């Protein structure tokens, strides 16, 4: 790595008269800095004095950042020369800042980032920053910019590569009752109605009964036996929560954003009301005038808000492990081209258990959760399904999760065979839920502590629409054909409403 910073200090007064003293100060400063180990070495390579200004050039080849030296130099100058000569640094200016660093892989194409011009040559990257102010340096953007360039180059190698997938367990093959798409058939029967906007559904009594049964089974067969306690969270997630979890940088194109009115002042809304009454249409231009910019989004997954609720808390040893779940917040995701039936929708109902505890507590919980889930999918649903290790984007990028076999941290996907999609070997199976242990990633970002134990956390996303389609795709819509275990929970459907 090489850092090359050209900048200047503007003093409160002319400093030509103390040129020599300034020279001595700089060589002393260099001496002191140079005394550090080679890794930390930096040097003021040249300087020039013009009236009130001191121009200089700081170069570092190691881990020491010249911009961090700036404030140090400023402080030393005021200590050593300031009082004696009644001068002070009024302004710090950086004219150019060039940072050269090595990349692990040779970039496949150009990379752009904000605040700098990036040049790539072989495995070498150069970032040229211009017009950098003190605030910019203080905020530690530089290191994040270096990381972002490295990450973008790494991503060029991931592109087009599927998620890592490794089978852990498979049920035996099961003969499906039919091979139709359950959503289409339920629509034909009027159990379900396509919602008023993209990727939303209206569940009439029959479909609602099935979805609600899934919820009941999840709670009674999985969560309650393991001691999970229900919590109720807010549906609207402010950006600062997603900044901490990484969702805001991870999936900004999938959120449903929430805006607040800019005002409740009736007078300000009067024109909009007039226009609505007269035209019976929505005047979006007028509406926009009274709306704020979004500062939040609709729940994407329930866990971020649960972690937020523990932010900064120290949990007593007796309360560990914490097992809680939310089943109230509805998830919103802009799925765009991927939408299909009720299995890939923009609005869905999930139960999300979250667990916080020691590594041992969570590894043991994972075994128990898997056991309970197996019981549901084998003994109650009687479906053909499998489990696989997968590595989601954020773990892959953080390089935190090894891609080999048994592991402490990581995500297990649960997938079901969907007969309507074709051959069980060739068709894509449906991920109907997952289970993750994420190490200390979230407890660290939300500063959640215990009295003495090191904490880990994890979550499991139980998608009720996904459970429903996985079950119906194999077992059909006729309750008589459903397995006995499921019939214990739902043996007949509500009569529903007849349309003429
Ligand atoms: P996919 O790869 O299918 O998009 P995902 O990896 O985005 O899923 P997660 O964020 O891991 O899903 O969410 C966990 C669970 O939430 C899924 O296993 C599924 O049950 C449910 N889920 C996610 N997205 C949807 C959706 N668009 N419609 C219905 N359920 C969903
Ligand atoms: Zn989660
Ligand atoms: Mg998704």
Q: Find the CATH number of the domain harbouring 57.
A: 3.30.70.1920
The pLDDT assigned to 385 comes to 98
pLDDT of residue 404 exceeding 70 = no
As a whole number of angstroms, the distance between CA 38 and CA 16 comes to 33
As a whole number of angstroms, the distance between CA 321 and CA 362 comes to 8
pLDDT of residue 391 exceeding 80 = no
Same domain as 322, residue 416: yes
Cα torsion 185, 380, 460, 299 to 10°: value is 40
- State which of 156, 182, 209 marks the end of a domain: 156
Counting ligands in written order, the one closest to the CA of 468 is: 1
The pLDDT assigned to 405 comes to 46
Whether 309 maps to a domain, the answer reads yes
The stretch 257-269 carries a mean pLDDT of: 97
Q: Which of 77-86, 95-104, 405-414 has the least mean pLDDT?
A: 405-414
The pLDDT assigned to 65 comes to 83
Question: Left if phi > 0, otherwise alpha if psi is -120 to 50, otherwise beta: which for 496?
Answer: left
Neighbouring C-alpha atoms within 13 Å toward the C-beta of 185 = 13
Measured in Å, residue 241 CA sits from the centre of ligand 2 at 13
Whether 269 maps to a domain, the answer reads no
Measured in Å, residue 343 CA sits from the centre of ligand 3 at 11
Same domain as 209, residue 245: yes
Confidence of residue 35 (pLDDT cuts 50, 70, 90): low
The stretch 380-402 carries a mean pLDDT of: 74
Q: What is the distance in angstroms between the CA of the first residue and the CA of the last residue of the chain?
A: 75
pLDDT of residue 402 exceeding 80 = no
Whether 278 maps to a domain, the answer reads no
DSSP class of residue 16?
Answer: G
Same domain as 424, residue 345: yes
The pLDDT assigned to 39 comes to 66
Whether 464 maps to a domain, the answer reads yes
Confidence of residue 393 (pLDDT cuts 50, 70, 90): low
Same domain as 175, residue 32: no
The stretch 357-364 carries a mean pLDDT of: 97
pLDDT of residue 256 exceeding 60 = yes
Question: Left if phi > 0, otherwise alpha if psi is -120 to 50, otherwise beta: which for 44?
Answer: beta
Q: Exactly one of 221, 233, 459, 465 is catalytic; which is it?
A: 459
Same domain as 420, residue 377: yes
Known catalytic residue at 359? no
Same domain as 172, residue 150: no
Task: Answer whether 422's CB lies under 8 Å from 408's CB.
Answer: no
Measured in Å, residue 431 CA sits from the centre of ligand 3 at 10
Stronger pLDDT, 475 or 86, i.e. the higher one: 475
The pLDDT assigned to 365 comes to 98
Whether 57 maps to a domain, the answer reads yes
pLDDT of residue 399 exceeding 90 = no
- State which of 95, 126, 156 marks the end of a domain: 156
Q: How many CB atoms lie within 10 A of CB 363?
A: 15
Whether 495 maps to a domain, the answer reads no
Neighbouring C-alpha atoms within 13 Å toward the C-beta of 470 = 27
Same domain as 111, residue 22: yes
As a whole number of angstroms, the distance between CA 127 and CA 349 comes to 45
The pLDDT assigned to 406 comes to 53
Q: Which sign does the torsion angle of CA 15, 17, 23, 28 carry?
A: negative
Confidence of residue 37 (pLDDT cuts 50, 70, 90): low
The pLDDT assigned to 136 comes to 82
* 109-123: pLDDT as tens digits: 999 999 999 999 999
Confidence of residue 398 (pLDDT cuts 50, 70, 90): low
Beta bridge partners of 125: 101, 120
Tally of domains in the chain? 2
As a whole number of angstroms, the distance between CA 183 and CA 50 comes to 77
pLDDT of residue 376 exceeding 50 = yes
Structural tokens at position 261: 């009115």
Same domain as 236, residue 96: no
Known catalytic residue at 112? no
As a whole number of angstroms, the distance between CA 322 and CA 303 comes to 13
Known catalytic residue at 431? yes
Whose CA is closest to 131, among 93, 91, 89, 74? 93
- Answering whether pTM is above 0.85, one says yes
Q: What is the CATH number of the domain that holds 362?
A: 3.30.930.10
pLDDT of residue 369 exceeding 60 = yes
Cα torsion 403, 406, 407, 411 to 10°: value is 70
Counting ligands in written order, the one closest to the CA of 442 is: 2
Known catalytic residue at 264? no
Stronger pLDDT, 27 or 407, i.e. the higher one: 27
Same domain as 399, residue 344: yes
Task: Answer whether 111's CB lies under 8 Å from 149's CB.
Answer: yes
pLDDT of residue 257 exceeding 90 = yes
pLDDT of residue 77 exceeding 70 = yes
Known catalytic residue at 352? yes
> Ligand 1, atom 4: nearest CA belongs to which residue?
344
Whether 27 maps to a domain, the answer reads yes
> Ligand 1, atom 11: nearest CA belongs to which residue?
434
* 276-291: pLDDT as tens digits: 999 999 999 999 999 9
* 437-466: pLDDT as tens digits: 999 999 999 999 999 999 999 999 999 999
Counting ligands in written order, the one closest to the CA of 332 is: 1
Of ligand 1's atoms, which has the minimum distance to the CA of residue 346? 27
Pairing of strands 449-450, 314-315: parallel
Measured in Å, residue 301 CA sits from the centre of ligand 1 at 9
Same domain as 126, residue 186: no
Q: List, in order, residues 6 or more apart from 333 with CB less than 8 Å away.
A: 254, 255, 256, 300, 346, 348
The pLDDT assigned to 32 comes to 78
Known catalytic residue at 459? yes
Among 211, 412, 431, 473, say which to mutate for ligand 1: greatest number of ligand atoms within 8 Å of CB: 431
Ligand 1 pocket residues where CB is under 6 Å = 301, 333, 335, 344-345, 348, 350, 431-434, 461, 463, 465-466
Pairing of strands 449-450, 330-332: unpaired
The stretch 125-132 carries a mean pLDDT of: 88
Among 350, 351, 389, 414, say which to mutate for ligand 1: greatest number of ligand atoms within 8 Å of CB: 350
The domain containing residue 367 runs over which residues?
166-259+294-487
pLDDT averaged over the chain?
93
Q: Which of 78-87, 108-117, 182-191, 272-281 has the least mean pLDDT?
A: 78-87
- State which of 126, 156, 186 marks the end of a domain: 156
Stronger pLDDT, 156 or 476, i.e. the higher one: 476
Among 463, 464, 469, 470, say which to mutate for ligand 1: greatest number of ligand atoms within 8 Å of CB: 463
Same domain as 349, residue 464: yes
Task: Answer whether 342's CB lies under 8 Å from 468's CB.
Answer: yes
> Ligand 1, atom 3: nearest CA belongs to which residue?
431
Measured in Å, residue 463 CA sits from the centre of ligand 1 at 7
As a whole number of angstroms, the distance between CA 207 and CA 382 comes to 20
Same domain as 244, residue 128: no
Known catalytic residue at 406? no
Whether 353 maps to a domain, the answer reads yes
As a whole number of angstroms, the distance between CA 479 and CA 182 comes to 13
The stretch 90-115 carries a mean pLDDT of: 93
């Amino acid at each position: 790595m090489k850092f090359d910073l050209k900048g200047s200090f503007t003093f409160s007064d002319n400093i030509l008269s103390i040129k020599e003293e300034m020279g001595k100060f700089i060589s002393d400063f260099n001496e002191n800095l140079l005394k550090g180990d080679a890794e930390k070495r930096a040097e003021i390579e040249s300087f020039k004095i013009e009236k009130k200004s001191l121009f200089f050039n700081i170069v570092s080849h190691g881990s020491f950042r010249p911009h961090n030296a700036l404030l140090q130099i400023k402080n030393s100058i005021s200590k050593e020369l300031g009082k004696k000569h009644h001068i002070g640094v009024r302004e710090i200016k950086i004219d150019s800042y060039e940072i050269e660093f090595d990349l692990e892989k040779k970039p496949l194409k150009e990379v752009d980032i904000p605040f700098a011009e990036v040049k790539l040559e072989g495995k070498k990257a150069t970032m040229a920053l211009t017009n950098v102010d003190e605030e910019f340096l203080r905020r530690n953007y530089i290191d994040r910019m270096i990381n972002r360039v490295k990450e973008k180059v790494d991503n060029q190698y991931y592109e087009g590569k599927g998620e890592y997938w490794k089978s852990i367990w498979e049920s035996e093959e099961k003969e499906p009752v039919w091979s139709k798409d359950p959503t289409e058939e339920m629509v034909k029967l009027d159990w379900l109605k396509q919602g008023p906007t993209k990727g939303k559904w209206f569940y009439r009594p029959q479909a609602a009964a099935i979805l609600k049964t899934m919820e009941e089974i999840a709670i009674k067969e999985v969560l309650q036996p393991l001691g999970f306690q229900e919590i109720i969270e807010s549906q609207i997630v402010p950006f600062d929560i997603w900044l901490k979890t990484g969702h805001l940088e991870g999936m900004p194109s999938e959120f449903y954003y929430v805006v607040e009115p800019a005002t409740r002042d009736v007078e300000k809304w009067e024109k909009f009301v007039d226009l609505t009454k007269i035209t019976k249409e929505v005047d979006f231009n007028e509406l926009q005038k009274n709306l704020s910019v979004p500062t939040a989004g609709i729940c994407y997954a329930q866990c971020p808000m649960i972690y937020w609720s523990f932010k900064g808390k120290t949990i007593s040893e007796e309360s560990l492990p914490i097992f809680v779940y939310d089943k109230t917040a509805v998830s919103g995701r802009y799925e765009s081209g991927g939408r299909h039936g009720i299995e890939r929708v923009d609005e869905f109902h999930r139960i999300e258990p979250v667990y916080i505890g020691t590594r041992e507590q969570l590894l043991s919980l994972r075994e128990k959760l898997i056991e309970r889930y197996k019981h549901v999918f084998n003994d109650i649903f009687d479906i053909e399904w499998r489990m696989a290790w997968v590595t989601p984007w954020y773990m892959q990028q953080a390089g935190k999760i090894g891609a080999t076999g048994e592991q402490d941290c990581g995500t297990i996907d649960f997938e079901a065979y969907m007969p309507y999609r074709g051959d069980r070997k060739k068709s894509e199976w449906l991920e109907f839920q997952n289970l993750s242990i994420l190490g200390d990633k979230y407890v660290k970002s939300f500063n959640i502590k215990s009295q003495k134990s090191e904490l880990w956390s994890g979550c499991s996303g139980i998608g009720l629409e996904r459970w429903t389609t996985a079950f119906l795709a194999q077992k059909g819509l006729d309750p008589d054909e459903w397995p006995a275990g499921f019939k214990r929970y739902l043996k007949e459907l509500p009569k529903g409403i007849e349309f003429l």
